[in-house]
Structure 1
Amino acid sequence: MSQPPTLIEEEEAGPPPLRARRALLKRLADVVSLPASRINAFERSVVGDLLVDMLRLASPEERRRVAGRLAALAELPDALARLLLRDEIEIAQVLIEQCAALSDADLVACAREAGAEHRRVMAARRGLSEIVCETLVGFGEPEVIETLLRNSTARLSQAGIETVVALSRTHPGLCGGLLKRPELRPSGAYVMFWWCGADDRRTILQRFGVSRDVMQEVAEDVFPMAASEGWADPVARKALQFIERRQRNRAAIEKSPFDSLEQAVATAARDGLSREIASEIAYLSGIKPLTGAKILGDAGGEPLAILCKATGLSKTDVHNLWRSMRRPEVQPDGSVHPDWERVQITYDLLAVDRAQTVLRYWNWSLSSALTPALLQAIRAGDDEQVDEYSAPERAAMLALAEDFGR
């Protein structure tokens, strides 16, 4: 906020008497604070305008005192709110934290027109609405978003959550806070899994490993209907593929050079995991090669355990598949390598049905929704081409963006 110019006349005459100004500021602040029974809205507005004009030339300490006096008001003149909310953070903070009279419009305007520190303080304010949270998230400031995620009284919309999930790809420190939010849904957690740390991955599997029992029960009689139609409807076919109990692709076995998925894994352990064998393992597992490549190329290894559990492979097969990728099993001191230990723990952690849900969601989002147009958009980094209503398309854009060099 600009300070009053120093006048030559004041310099010659010495410092101006400020007692009257301070007293008047206090009196006007008191008038603005009067209850509705003593002052009507028009009178309050006029007094507020006069107070704004004086505060523009007041010292920071005087403005801070007035802000503290006004913070308890149930009604605050708009011009006064705008002035003080855009003031130095030490002054604006009093109102941002304490003033219940501030509307969503006041807070959104402050977030847009003030600085990052104002937004950080606002992110901790109690009872933030969805629209204010979306505004704060839109600036993409990790420190502000971390504060917002810790604010248990803030209400985040799904659009806001999706924005934070996307930001967590480049700012993994946001993952932990996201996983504590009640608004986070499996679609966001499953795609976030690809860049989360080991502890966050375990949390995702424990919290979002969803059963498909209810879906299987209600869709039981739909499978024969779709079969009688020759699976001609691609929309129903994709949905039923997600719901069905069987994970392995029986039709792929008939065309495969291997007698079973286990034999393909054993061959990979013996000869190494070539591109051709990796594709066969994916087909036999009931997933697309793109999904298989994403799983087998993951540095942490947990997706490999999910693949094996979902397809009914044994621990021996898990070991063979790990060896086929030439991944380390022990450290130089002879202890179990942390990555291999994590794979075994993940395998034991998940039930088959829940592992299948995660695997199928990945396959659904990484391949079933991957149209040529979406693939082009991913390569170009054009987020606007993604269908805002399609969770699989958004997941594919996020999960594959790094693979395409974004």
Structure 2
Amino acid sequence: MSEPGVRAEEGEARPLRARRALLRRLADVVSLPASRINVFERSVVGDLLVVVLRTASVEERRRVAQRLAPLGELPDALKRLLLRDDPGVARPLLEDCAALSDADLIGCARDAGPEHRLMMAARRGLTEAVTETLLSWGEEAVIAAVLRNDSARMPQSAIEGVIALSRGAPGLSALLLRRLELRPAGAYVMFWWCAAEERRTILQRFAVSREVMQSSVEDVFALAAEEGWSDPVARKALQFIERRQRNRAAVAKSPYADLEAAVAAAGAAGLTRDLVAEIGYLSGIKPLTSAKILADAGGEPLAILCKATGLTRRDLTVLWRAMRRPETAEDGAEHPDWRRVQIIYEMLAVDRAQTVLRYWNWTLSSALTPTLLRAIREGEEALIDEYSAPERAALLALAENFGR
């Protein structure tokens, strides 16, 4: 009820002015240093401020949030309210407030919307727990923002989840390559759906030498030989480390004198499934791995196969033609794909090319996590019945365009 002699509209305006003043004063009290107000007093003031904020305008709530953002301590009820508020209100806290714990951020990520998560993704110093929560929603814009945030820490489980998503979101691949957390297993899985420049980056960064391993276990080869290579675990690991790439035992069973003869046959008659499998056996890799390499649209894996197995540039040309890939463009110039494949062949040392090839062959069947295996298998089950049951179980990774 208004005071006597005061018009009704003035009577309504006065409480609003009082409420605004109250908001400012309460925000000031919450902002007092610990020397002036203890934690219990601050909590009580925070509870009262929450009550007043619930009926305040968006602009008023934004101003209060901006006032409180620099603080290193805030009442829990106040944080919960403001973090779940309109994105414009929550922004000052989400971007800069040091008073927010991991629990505060994770709770906000779960309860609020995509705009809140996007703002949070750019926050400095995000921990593994927070980034994993942010990435779990599968929102490409949020994921990209986290990947761009160099101060954010990411667990391997989150990195692997993003690798799997990058198959359907090509823009994430380049951002993943910026992350120091990316490891060879993930990079070599992602390689298959990366663009040409990203593939080159992967090869330059992860095509590592095995010289240290080779020198460290040199005497173990003799021990394994004395045991007749009876330990399958040791045999598999040593096969990855050894210098020789080709499978000598396969030559005795092959209808071809050597790998070069199989390549020449492919050049003369074209690639068949039997020839693809035979090239794989002679190269020391699984038929599925050779099928994926010889079906790849970009062509870079072919250069790696040839360099790792000691095939010459002439053999590379023969296989390129057997794959029915163009050497020249419409204007008569060298085709960019063919030029790129030749550059990859020249730039990689044999030892490093072998590392890449063996990683593909070895990790695709035995050393990947379920997340990365699912990423490989998705959409690549075509023609899988051409191969044995163990191979199907190990790697469902045939390229969709093989046999065209």
TM-score scaled by structure 1? Answer: 0.90
Change (3 A) 1:215 1:395: farther
Match of 2:293 among 283, 292, 295: 295
**SS in structure 1 at match of 2:361:** helix
Q: Tell me if 1:327 matches 2:325.
A: yes
Paired residues for 1:365-384 under 5 Å: 365-367=363-365, 369=366
Query: Does the 8 A contact of 1:134 with 1:156 survive in 2?
Result: yes
Distance 1:101 1:12, change over 3 A: closer
Q: Deviations over 1:55-113 (max 9, x none)?
A: 01111011011001100111011110010000111110011112111111111111111
Change (3 A) 1:329 1:84: same
Is residue 365–residue 392 contact of structure 1 (8 Å, CA) maintained in 2? no
Q: Contact 2:191 / 2:199 at 8 angstroms: preserved in 1? A: yes
User: Which residue in the other structure is 2:389 paired with?
Assistant: none
1:86 corresponds in structure 2 to 84
Number of residue pairs aligned between Structure 1 and Structure 2: 376
Task: Write the letter of the residue equivalent to 2:168.
Answer: T
**What is the aligned partner in structure 2 of residue 228 from structure 1?**
226
The residue that corresponds to 1:128 in the other structure is 126
Q: Which residue of 1 aligns with 2:257?
A: 259
- Residue equivalent to 1:22: 20
> Distance in 1 between the 2:261 and 2:317 partners?
13
Is the 8 Å Cα contact of residues 263 and 319 (structure 2) preserved in structure 1?
A: yes
Q: Equivalent residue for 2:380? A: 403
* Residue matched to 1:243: 241
Find the aligned partners of 2:239 and 2:302 in 1 and give their Cα distance.
Answer: 21
Q: 1:222 to 1:358 in 2, by over 3 A?
A: same
Q: Matched residues in 1 for 2:175 and 2:43: separation?
A: 42
Residues of 1 paired with 2:298 and 2:145: CA distance? 28
Q: Structure 1 residue aligned with 2:156, among 155, 158, 176? A: 158
Q: Offset of 1:225 from its aligned partner? A: 1.2
Partner of 1:360: 358
- Listed as ranges, the gaps of 5+ residues in structure 2 are 1-7, 383-395, 397-404
8 Å CA contact 2:307, 2:348 repeated in 1: yes
Cα RMSD after superposing both structures = 1.7
Deviation of 1:159 after TM superposition, in Å, equals: 1.4
1:145–1:393 distance in 2 versus 1, CA, 3 Å: closer
Judge conservation of contact 2:160–2:372 (CA < 8 Å) in 1. no
Query: TM-score if structure 2 supplies the norm length?
Result: 0.90
Q: How big is each residue's C-alpha offset from its partner over 1:313-360, in whole Å with a ceiling of 9 and x where there is no partner?
A: 000000001111111111121111121111111111111111101100
User: AA paired with 1:401?
Assistant: E
Q: In structure 2, what residue type is equivalent to 1:346?
A: I
Write the distance in 2 (CA, Å) between the matches of 1:20 and 1:206.
66
Deviation at 1:229, TM superposition (A): 1.4
Contact kept, 8 Å, 2:135 with 2:143, in 1: the verdict is yes
- For residue 286 of structure 1, report the CA deviation from its aligned partner: 0.2
- Aligned residue for 1:185? 183
Alignment of 1:48-127 (within 5 A): 48-127=46-125
Show the counterpart of 1:204: 202
Alignment-derived partner of residue 174 in structure 2: 176
SS in 1 for 2:123: coil
CA distance in 2, matches of 1:229, 1:240: 14
- 1:44 is aligned to 42
SS at match of 1:397: helix
Secondary structure in 2 matching 1:18: helix
The 3 A distance-change label for structure 1 pair 357 and 319 is: same
The alpha-carbon distance between structure 1 residues 394 and 177, as it changes in their structure 2 partners (threshold 3 A), is same
Aligned residue type for 1:66:
V
Shift of 1:394: 4.7
Q: CA deviation at 1:11?
A: 9.2
Structure 1 stretches of 5 or more lacking a match?
A: 1-9, 370-389
Report the identity percentage: 68
